[in-house]
Structure 1
Amino acid sequence: MEKNMIGLNKQQTATLVDDLNQLLADYQILYTNVRGYHWNIKGRDFFELHAKFEEIYNDLVLKVDEIAERILTLGGTPVHAFSRYLEMSDLEETLNVSNGTEAVGNILSAYRVLLTKQRQIVKTAADVDDEGTVSLMSDYISQQEKESWMLNAYLQ
Structure 2
Amino acid sequence: MAKNFIGLDQAKTGGLADALNDLLSNYQIFYMNVRGYHWNIKGENFFELHAKFEELYDDLLLKIDEIAERVLTLGHRPAHAYSTYMERSEIPERKDVSDGREAVENILESFGKLIGKQRNLLNLAGDADDEGTVALMSDYISQQEKTVWMYRSYLGQ
The TM-score bracket by the shorter chain reads: over 0.9
Moved over 3 A (4+): none
Equivalent in the alignment of 1:48:
48
Q: Using the aligned pairs only, state the percent identity.
A: 62
Cα RMSD, aligned residues only: 0.4
Does residue 30 (structure 1) correspond to residue 30 (structure 2)? The answer is: yes
Q: Spell out the pairing of 1:2-151 with structure 2 (5 A cutoff).
A: 2-151=2-151
TM-score (norm 1): 0.99
Distance 1:43 1:154 in 2: 15
Distance 2:68 2:14 in 1: 14
Distance 1:22 1:128 in 2: 18
Residue type at the aligned position of 2:53:
F
TM-score (norm 2): 0.99
Look up the SS of the partner of 1:51 in the other structure. helix
Residue type at the aligned position of 2:60:
L
Paired residues in the alignment total 156
Deviation, structure 1 residue 2:
1.3
Look up the SS of the partner of 2:93 in the other structure. coil
Residue segments in structure 2 that go unaligned for 5+ positions in a row: none
Residue type at the aligned position of 2:23:
L
Look up the SS of the partner of 1:126 in the other structure. helix
Deviation, structure 1 residue 12:
1.0
Residue segments in structure 1 that go unaligned for 5+ positions in a row: none
